[in-house]
Amino acid sequence: MFEIGLGPAGEVKMTGRLDGTQCDAALKFLNAVPQPEVIDLAGLEYISSAGLRVFLLTQKRVKATGPGLRLVNLSPPIFDIFHYAGFDQILNISRAGS
């Protein structure tokens, strides 16, 4: 199960599993947010390579007119996936608790 929505401070919140079957819905939601800045991934349990693509495409769009995405509250396993894919070099990422 995957859920995406806006939190009380305007941040995007993702929970569950972002895999290939959920990517179109996630990208559609993110494209409807004019300038998403913060994405809270505290509840994200899994992300596939297709899910990483959602962040890459969104970063490209947002960075064209602003500072880019800031991903916050990544659990150690989710942070490791972003790190091993090299996404920590193109996205502003904060681990949970930091």
Instruction: Give the tens place of pLDDT for each residue, 41-88.
Output: 999 999 999 999 999 999 999 999 988 999 999 999 999 999 999 999
User: CA dist 12 to 5, 84, 86, Å?
Assistant: 6, 23, 22
Average pLDDT over residues 4-19: 96
pLDDT for res 98: 61
Q: Average model confidence (pLDDT) for the chain? A: 95
pTM, 2 dp: 0.93
Domains annotated for the chain, with CATH where assigned, are 2-95 (3.30.750.24)
